[in-house]
Structure 1
């Protein structure tokens, strides 16, 4: 289970194996004893993910881990309570519907979105399988994995290949349909050259050291004399402008800076924007810039913004991050309206980093989605993988420029167009030829209907179970003899 938590050490097969064994455990255990152990297992996995991702265990993350674990325990508890009251052919669907519904609930009621708790990201790279999320959202993968666990346990308890054949046919149909979608989808027509640029390591490290010497956090930086911070901030800005000129000269029509690419005190924000406007106008490009604005206004003491500038130097939008990271970012959230601009290169949209962990926000009619981001070494790769799911769901290409992580461009099927790792290359640039026309997906049209149907299915199965008398299901004990479950 520890190798299927959506982290940097994920193993795809582990995500299919651990639910089989945990489900077997709960069916061989007393109801509440089994549920308690499952809760502890999920809590341990969540804490492992926090440590593996170098997020840091704090009261906020600890409470979040326990809350997420509780939601993830509910499908196992539902299976344990329902399986003895339903016909086997019906009961086999209770667990997968509950898992998919639970993943959906996490994105709706928690501030964590799909950052943790989604099994889909564990299958990163298996593009034929992942195409199903263009219909069901990421919850379809959780449904299939949980369906495998439920089917194996049914065969384990009552040796019969009928259920296995049904599930195998469903999984085969999903994979074949996904493969056909990849193989027979029209080849991309017009493309646009997009360059993502991050500031060089030297100027970035110097700015980090400069800000680290100032006490008082964001408030202290906002109030610091300009002479103490402005030179290092300007060096980063100039490095980004130079990289932008270089990529524009090489043919880029859109240049993307990462989240918080330019750090500036509020009094100098207009100067930073004006310099970017002038560069966009001179180079004749669309330029997306990320700004970290330090303000003396409490409690946020600043803003996290993304600004898109057109080739005439006009600011098309100023977008503020809609989902600040719980426990670590105090920014006032933006209104959650994803900006979209019609350009000669298609409809371009923009969110910031953690926003891409919320599928409902990302369900936007666009051709190209820009995702300026700022991660760190232990989490950058995994976070970019999560964002790739949104491209398949939304039917748009996605360009994620990560300040300190893995920057990648994807097409609307999740195929990698270009990628680079901040920590393994000297030049912090990714260049991709990105299709200018997206596609409307079924998920884009119906939204989270599949997830709602799963929740409704659990409710219906519960009513059916209540209408039937309790019928203990035979299970194999540890000694190999048949016994009735408690």
Structure 2
């Protein structure tokens, strides 16, 4: 009976803490929970009979994921059903590494060090595979693992997200190994010391990378991130804009864009970047809009980034971003690649996808790249920017639900560029190539809607930018090796 109560306590602790890893309407989000929760969940599934433990673990993920995410994206019946399906698929994704560990771990118990690698290899391989294709491709639903101080975040420049999935799941495995050995140091010493050595090396690398004597000296440019604040104070949800095909009052919005641009220039900005959906138009007005924006850039002698939604009279329109130089020339005409939604649900119902090409251009302020919002969720796509040596990435965004912290800063660390992210209904921010937040602005706590930041005009090169997902592929190879009996026999 005591064993059953102990198992129940571990189950409740594991999945109760796990709910705190998700953005939720009911619970606070506690970043460190992603390190703690797997310790208890792994302990639970390993100490239960394989069949029952696996079933209960899946049920735990199913319940905790659906409870935490319920109603987050809206309360209409369609959205709730879609969210239920999404949460269930997420539950399967998070459950699979635990199932693989439960099947493989007993076969390696005589090899202490190798046994601690089963879970991190399984989790990293499964998450990496899901990033290649499917409903959670890219880093969608996985960035909860990208947690830690700036010095630890530099791991992104070596491995991308996969370094964090491996490192944090390795902690859970190490603690469980020590737990199984009653925390006797003599028995747990070897894997613990190996982990601590690796962790120390990562911290030393991060400290050196962000130190002043390792940071290249470069010129800075003043950039303004601009958000068109709702004039009535009421935020319009992103899904309402594209579902109802809401059209902006053209002259009024252009006048606001012009006035805000002029204000930013008077305050020294050389690049002015507006939010995603800064103006929404019908396709008949697109040439008029582009002409107006070219005039604004030329009259204000500024590089202007303007993002807009263009609804088609028939078929699908486009979610676009222009970069215009100070002579009024359109340098970049970019269409969003990774739209929000799938099939006839979301942006994909009203917009067509852009080409899988990151557009870049040389300017007096370094090489500038353009992306839109959740394009930054896809490192394999954004890696083009590193290959083209982009120095500054412009990423206009529109959060739904509202973002609570700077988003996608990991891409800056991974690929060595600075990022400018003007965000409607969220946190606008600018960060350098180390992921240091140079400036940020909450859209609910600003009167002007303008954020200024001094940004380096030169980026840096990174290992991850050159080699890509080497750790993801390596984890997949090891998982396959662990799963093949003849290979496993050699290892054991």
- TM bucket normalised to smaller: 0.7 to 0.9
Q: Partner of 1:310 in structure 2? A: 325
Gaps of 5+ in 2: 1-17
- What does residue 295 of structure 2 align with? 278
Q: Is the contact made by 2:113 and 2:190 (CA closer than 8 Å) also made in structure 1?
A: no
Partners of 1:199 and 1:345 lie apart in 2 by: 25
User: In the alignment, what sits opposite 2:334?
Assistant: 319
Query: Structure 1 residues 395 and 9 mapped into 2: Cα distance closer, same or farther (>3 Å)?
Result: farther
- Aligned equivalent of 2:94: 72
Matches within 5 A, 1:330-409: 330=349, 331-363=351-383, 364-365=385-386, 366-376=390-400, 378-382=401-405, 384-385=406-407, 387-409=408-430
- Structure 2 CA distance for partners of 1:303 and 1:162, relative to 1, 3 Å: same
The question of whether the paired residues in 2 share the 8 Å contact of 1:97 and 1:458 is answered with yes
Measured on the aligned residues, the alpha-carbon RMSD in Å equals 2.5
CA gap 1:49/1:106 in 2 versus in 1, 3 angstroms: farther
Residue 165 of structure 1 is matched in structure 2 by 193
Q: Secondary structure at the match of 1:95?
A: helix
| 1:419 corresponds to | 440
8 Å contact from structure 1 (residues 103, 118) kept in 2: no
Equivalence for 1:150:
173
Aligned with residue 270 of structure 2, among 253, 269, 278? 253
Kept after mapping to 2: 8 A contact 1:404/1:423: yes
Q: Are the structure 2 counterparts of residues 260 and 49 from structure 1 closer, same or farther at C-alpha, using a change threshold of 3 Å?
A: farther
Deviation (angstroms), 1:108: 1.2
Other structure's SS at 2:113 match:
helix
**Offset of residue 465 of structure 1:** 7.6
1:450 pairs with 471, 482, 485, which one? 471
Matched, 1:217 2:244: yes
Is the contact made by 1:193 and 1:433 (CA closer than 8 Å) also made in structure 2? Answer: yes
| 8 Å CA contact retained: 2:209, 2:215 | no
Alpha-carbon separation, structure 2, partners of 1:250 and 1:242: 13
Is 1:202 aligned to residue 239 of structure 2?
Answer: no
Cα distance change on mapping 1:394 and 1:53 into 2, 3 Å: farther
Preserved CA contact (<8 Å) 2:31 2:144:
no
Which residue does the alignment assign to 2:311? Answer: 294
TM-score (norm. length: structure 1)? 0.87
TM-score in terms of structure 2 length: 0.86
Counterpart for residue 449 of structure 2: 428
Do 1:306 and 1:318's aligned partners in 2 also have CA atoms closer than 8 Å? yes
Secondary structure at 1:2 match in 2? helix
Distance in 2, Cα, partners of 1:72 & 1:465: 28
**Structure 1 residues 310-357: Cα deviation after superposition (integer angstroms, max 9, x where no partner):** 111111121111111123212211112110101111110011101111
Q: Deviations over 1:384-412 (max 9, x none)?
A: 33x11111111100111102211000100
Out of 65, 68, 79, the residue aligned to residue 46 of structure 1 is 65
Aligned partner of residue 143 in structure 2, secondary structure: coil
1:52 positional shift: 7.0
- Aligned residues between the structures: 450
Note the alpha carbon deviations across 1:29-76, whole angstroms, 9 max, x for none: 122322222223333343345337435553333222222221221111
- Report matched runs for 1:97-112 at 5 Å: 97-112=121-136
Matches of 1:452 and 1:6, distance apart in 2: 29
1:24 Cα offset (Å) = 0.2
Distance change in 2, residues 1:428/1:441 (3 Å): same
Instruction: Go from structure 1 to structure 2 and tell me whether the alpha carbon gap of 1:380 and 1:233 turns closer, same or farther (over 3 Å shift).
Output: farther
| CA distance, structure 2, for counterparts of residue 48 and residue 122 of structure 1 | 23
Specify whether residues 55 and 409 from structure 1 end up closer, same or farther in structure 2 by C-alpha distance, changes over 3 A only. farther
How far apart are the structure 2 equivalents of 1:442 and 1:451? Answer: 14
- 1:203-249 Cα offsets, whole Å, 9 max, x none, are 7859x59x98x99822xx5xxxxxxx66x343223112110011112
Q: What is the match of residue 10 of structure 2?
A: none
* Greater mean deviation of Cα atoms: 429-438 or 41-50: 41-50
In 2: Cα distance, 1:324 partner to 1:215 partner = 12
Distance 1:419 1:462 in 2: 47
